[in-house]
Amino acid sequence: MDQMSQIQELISITGLPQDQAQMYLEMSGGSIDLAVSMYFESMDQGQGSNQQNFGNQDFGGNNQELSPEKLLWPDKVIPESWKIQGLEFDENNPLGLKQHQNGPCGPLSVINAVLISQLIKNDNFDLNKKVTDEELTKALITILNVVVQQDQEYIICYYNSLNEIKQDKFKGEQQAFQFLLKNLNQYKIQGGIVLFLYSLVLTKGLDKIKEEVSKSGGELPLIVRPFNICVTDLIMLMISGEANGNVGDFSQFSNEKIQVNNRLGIGLLTSVVHQMNIPINDALLTPQNNVFILHGGEHFTVMFTLEKDLSKEQIEFYQWNGLKPGGPRMCKFLLKTKGDVIKKNIEPQQYKKIHTHYKPEIGEFDSVIQANSEDKKNYPNNYTKWNYECAIIVHDEENADFPPRPQDMPKPKLYEQGENKEGPWRCLACYSKRFKTMCFGQNEGGDVCQNCGIKKEHCGWSIYLPFEKLPSSAKRSLRRQHGPKIIGILETKWPSSDVEFLDKPEQPTI
C-alpha cells in the first residue's frame, strides 16, 4: 500500500484532516495500526495530563531516590519505540542512522550530526562511507565529554546476561572510550539508544539535570507523550551540557540575551521560532560546523553541507531522515539564498522594535484572505502564480489602540483601493470584525453592504494582488503554507530562501 492509500485509510478510521493523518502516519513509522493507537491515546490522555500524572507520583518530592526512569520516561516505563532502537546505519545510506518508530529522533539526530561533522572536519567524508566502530564511538564520547563535570567520572552503561542495565565508572576519556568501544555492539542493536541516554544522564548527574530543567522553566520527564519524543531540554543537554530547553536568542520576559555554550559546534534550526516570535540563539544559528539539527515540530532530522561559505547564493545541502514513510532518505537539494543570510541576530531591543505591531496607515496591507480559485486550478503546484484576495486598512479609528510608528522606522508599502467595480465584493468593515461577528463580509453586488448596511464607498472592499506584489511578510507566510515545509525552517537563517530538490521532486519530511 502506497503512502497516499495509507493516509486515506487512516482518515477513514479516525476522521482526521489529511495533513494530520499524514503527521500521525509519519510519527508511527508507516504503521497504520500504531498511528491509530497513537491518535486515540492522544485523545484519551494528551501530553499535558501525562506529565501531570507522572509528576504526582514520587518524582523528587517524596524523598525517594531520583532514577533515570523517573527522569526520562512517561510513567517511568521505557516506550516500545525506544526499546527497539539501536545505533544502526541504513543499508543504502551508510552515513544515516536508521529509525524504526517515532520517538528517538532527537538523540539520533544529534549523534548523527556529530558523526558527520567529525568526518567532514577530518576530510574523511563520503556519502557511501561505512562508519567504523571507532568513528561511532568517538561521536558518542564527544557528546559525553559535553556533560561530564570536571574531576568527575564517565558512567558507561551496558546490558548484563540477564538483560539488566548495569554501569561502570571511568576516570578518564580514554578509559571510557575503550570500554564503550568494547561494548559498542550492545549500542548497535535493540535498546542501544536507551543505553546511551542512561550513560548521558548518569554522567551528567540526575539531580543536576532536574535542577537545570526546573530553573529554565521546563518540566520532567525528558521524553513526553503522546509521541514519546524528547523535549528540547534533552537536545540542549547534548549540545551544550546544560538541560535548558530555551533555544531563543533572548528571554521572552526581558531583553536579556541568553548565553549558550555550543560545545558540539552543530546548529539547530526550528520552526518553533515563528510561534515564539524570538529568533534562534546565535550559538545555534551560526555554529562552528555547517551541520544542523532541523526541528519541524514533532520530528528531528539532520542537514549538512560541505560548503564553508553559507552566504553564497546557491548551496548544495543534504538532509537525512531515517524514519518511514518519508525515509530512510538522504535528500539532496539546492538552497537558493539570494545572498540573504543571518549570521548574527540584532539586539533584542531592536528586534522587538521591528516586530512590534504599530498603528497602521490607510492603504497599508492587512492580510491575505484567500487565493483565486481559478488560479489554483490552473497552477495547482505553483502558489507564486496565484492572485490573492487581500484586505487593506481603510478605517483609521479601528486601530487607535496601537502605538504610533517611530520616525526612524521604514514606512510601510501602501496600496490603492482601486476602481469601484460592479459585481460580488467583500466589505472590509465586516471583515475586520470577523472574529467577533463570524461575518466575513461577502456581498453578491450592490453599493451597500448587506450585512452592516454601510455604503461600499465608506466601508471599503477587498482587492486582488499577484504574489510578486505582496509584502515580504505575506510572501513568507504563503511560502510556509504552500511551499516545501523545509522552507519554514530554512528561512530562520536564510530569510529569502528557496529550494530545488535534486534527487527526486518529492519534498522531504522534516
Shared domain for 371 and 474, answered yes or no, is: yes
**Distances 113 to 95, 107, 119, 253, 356 between C-alpha atoms, Å:** 10, 10, 10, 32, 36
Q: Cα–Cα–Cα angle for 295, 301, 36, nearest 5°?
A: 80
pLDDT given at position 23: 73
Q: What total of structural domains would you count in the chain? A: 3
Residue 355 resides in a domain: no
Shared domain for 313 and 421, answered yes or no, is: no
Residue 112 resides in a domain: yes
Residue 42 resides in a domain: no
pTM above 0.75, yes or no: yes
**DSSP state string for 182-233:** HTHHHHHSTTHHHHHHHHHHHHH-HHHHHHHHHHTT--S-SEETTTTEEPHH
Residue 241 resides in a domain: yes
Would you give the DSSP letter of residue 247? -
Shared domain for 25 and 160, answered yes or no, is: no
pLDDT given at position 20: 75
Q: Rounded CA gap, 414 and 471, in Å? A: 10
Shared domain for 293 and 388, answered yes or no, is: no
pLDDT at position 26 over 90: no
Shared domain for 277 and 142, answered yes or no, is: yes
pLDDT at position 461 over 70: yes
Average pLDDT over residues 490-497: 93
Does 38 or 169 have the greater pLDDT score? 169
Question: What cell numbers appear for 300 in the block?
Answer: 528531528
Q: Range of 16's domain?
A: 3-37
pLDDT at position 113 over 90: yes
Does 95 or 435 have the greater pLDDT score? 95
Beta strands in 307-403 (DSSP E): 314-321, 329-336, 365-371, 387-392
State what percent of residues in the chain have pLDDT above 70: 89
Average pLDDT over residues 121-150: 97
Shared domain for 82 and 186, answered yes or no, is: yes
Shared domain for 233 and 334, answered yes or no, is: yes
> Where does residue 313 rank: exposed (0-12), middle (13-18), buried (19+ CB within 10 A)?
exposed
pLDDT at position 52 over 60: no
Q: What is the pLDDT of residues 327-363, one digit of tens each?
A: 999 999 999 999 999 999 988 888 888 888 899 999 9
Residue 56 resides in a domain: no
Residues 6+ apart with CB under 8 A from 262: 239, 240, 283, 284, 287, 288
pLDDT given at position 504: 84
**DSSP state string for 442-469:** EESSSSB-TTT--BHHHH-B-EEEEGGG
Shared domain for 26 and 89, answered yes or no, is: no
Shared domain for 79 and 116, answered yes or no, is: yes
Does 21 or 145 have the greater pLDDT score? 145
* Position 397 confidence tier, pLDDT thresholds 50, 70, 90: low
Residue 509 resides in a domain: no
Shared domain for 8 and 106, answered yes or no, is: no
Shared domain for 372 and 281, answered yes or no, is: no
Average pLDDT over residues 303-330: 97
pLDDT given at position 298: 87
Average pLDDT over residues 270-291: 91
Q: In what order do the strands lie in the sheet with 267-270?
A: 267-270, 291-295, 300-304, 314-321, 329-336, 498-501
Report the amino acid identity of residue 508: P
pLDDT given at position 401: 80
pLDDT given at position 29: 62
Residue 405 resides in a domain: no
pLDDT given at position 355: 84
Residues 187, 86 contacting (CB under 8 angstroms): yes
Shared domain for 311 and 385, answered yes or no, is: no
Q: How far is CA 166 from the centre of its chain?
A: 34
Q: What is the pLDDT of residues 371-396, one digit of tens each?
A: 999 999 999 989 999 999 999 999 87
* CB-CB neighbours of 71 under 10 Å: 25
Residue 371 resides in a domain: yes
